[in-house]
Amino acid sequence: MAAKNAFYAQSGGVTAVLNASAAGVIETARKHKSKIGKVYAGRNGIIGALTEDLIDTGRESAAAIAALKTTPAGAFGSARYKLKSFEKDRSQYERLIEVFRAHDIGYFFYNGGNDSADTCLKVSQLSQTLGYPLVAVHVPKTVDNDLAVTDCCPGFGSVAKYVATSIREAGFDVASMSKTSTRVFVMEVMGRHAGWITAACGLAAEKQGDAPQILLFPEIQFDEEMFLARVREVVERDGYCAIAVSEGLRNREGKFLSETGLKDAFGHSQLGGSGEIIARLVKDRLKYKYHWALADYLQRAARHIASKVDVEQSYRLGAEAVKLAIAGRNAVMPVIERISNKPYRWRIGVAKLADVANKEKMMPRDFITEDGFHITAKCRAYISPLIQGEAPPPYRNGLPDYVKLRNASVPKRLPEFKV
């Protein structure tokens, strides 16, 4: 069989190590030129495929592709865009095939989370449904760590390292200030449905008195009185209290705090993120001076403090996806299988996309302490290996030297298509 071209796209929220997977895909494809011709990337994800807006990664130097390993976010642009089902909008799938045929694309690599695994599954079925020969492989990615089958998700380890480091550092700060000033520090972190990132903050607390003393998980209904009692207890014991709170914290009715707010002293609804709400609650009810932080994109883009394990796994999963594709394995996703915790050892496995698509891996209840305010030893044993090792980027002029690719367009061959 003659070499076919490959299409690669990034999907959904980006991470500190998503581009490491891209480097894994492209560098490995370059080593198998008898099987894979060009690697075209979708400009802004799957939208690039639909609009025939393809980037010729062959125009990038080996150094530029290697630099992707140390560059955060999505070098080709990502997209929050979910294909409708084949039954609801057949035309989108026909368009994909049309573009793939026009550019001799035989391999489809989709780098994303739950939703994109589902999209990849649908695309993988096109050989059967529309008679176009295509091998589709999904490359896992999500800071939320909520993909099924795989032991962990690329992107999570680096966010975990960032948030645990940040709350440790802020904890040292507030502990220094607590005698005359700030006593309570609140940091809001990502993870609307699953508390993996909140849990990662807990790694920073290795013994009593360490920050963070309290974690507020999306899995645990927020109980105002129990929370306030705990804050007071911690401040009286340690002199200060550092709290990590999930953006997805919910009240007793199961509603997001960020949507319902809390009443202030005058009975007015106070909106804002969960971090702000929790901080104000502490001030209103306990009168402690507080500070709060919202890491937002900083946490998932923080390539400067990425986990070495995470970078290695991300790259490897991209590389393995190419090997699977060359072997003709359609509708699969390479995954991380954990062999042991101490020492941490892992290997690559293979999951069927049907077992991954649209599933969500929640935190086990026994990863959270009985009182709901911290992580258990079991949780620590699971997350800790994922933040090991440093993989700093190169620096130039005192700042991380991240690459911006040329992203040269592949000439279009088809009429326009509106998405």
Binding site residues, a second copy, CB under 8 A: 10, 13-14, 16, 44-45, 47, 71-75, 77-81, 161, 164-166, 168-170, 172-182, 185, 187, 203-204, 206, 272, 276, 291-298, 300-305, 307, 384, 387-390, 392, 395, 397-400, 402
Tell me if residue 144 is catalytic.
yes
Closest approach of a second copy to the CB of residue 225, in Å: 26
Closest approach of a second copy to the CB of residue 323, in Å: 26
Closest approach of a second copy to the CB of residue 72, in Å: 5
Structure token digits, residue 240? 């200060």
CB 360 within 8 A of CB 380: no
Nearer to a second copy, 179 or 252 (CB): 179
Closest approach of a second copy to the CB of residue 135, in Å: 26
* CA-based nearest residue to 280, from 303, 301, 264, 268: 264
Map residue 87 onto helix, strand or coil: coil
Nearer to a second copy, 70 or 124 (CB): 70
* CA-based nearest residue to 158, from 27, 312, 294: 312
Closest approach of a second copy to the CB of residue 105, in Å: 21
Residue 187 host element (H or E): strand 184-189
CB 25 within 8 A of CB 110: no
Map residue 59 onto helix, strand or coil: helix
Nearer to a second copy, 108 or 185 (CB): 185
Nearer to a second copy, 234 or 295 (CB): 295
Structure token digits, residue 227? 């929370």
Nearer to a second copy, 97 or 167 (CB): 167
* CA-based nearest residue to 18, from 85, 72, 80, 84: 72
Nearer to a second copy, 16 or 351 (CB): 16
| Measured distance CA(98)–CA(109) in Å, rounded | 17
Q: How far is CA 295 from CA 24, 244, 301, 370, in A?
A: 28, 11, 10, 27
| Measured distance CA(337)–CA(218) in Å, rounded | 26
Nearer to a second copy, 170 or 199 (CB): 170
| Measured distance CA(144)–CA(150) in Å, rounded | 13
Nearer to a second copy, 21 or 307 (CB): 307
Closest approach of a second copy to the CB of residue 283, in Å: 13
Q: Which of 53, 56, 89, 144 is catalytic?
A: 144
Amino acid identity at 339 = I
| Measured distance CA(333)–CA(320) in Å, rounded | 9
Collect all residues with Cβ–Cβ distance below 8 Å to 407 and sequence separation of at least 6: 41, 43, 55, 75, 76
Sign of the alpha-carbon dihedral angle for 301, 14, 66, 313? positive
Burial of 296 (0-12, 13-18, 19+ CB in 10 A): middle
Closest approach of a second copy to the CB of residue 260, in Å: 17
Closest approach of a second copy to the CB of residue 251, in Å: 21
Map residue 188 onto helix, strand or coil: strand
| Measured distance CA(335)–CA(356) in Å, rounded | 10
Structure token digits, residue 369? 């302490």
User: Annotated catalytic sites, by residue?
Assistant: 144
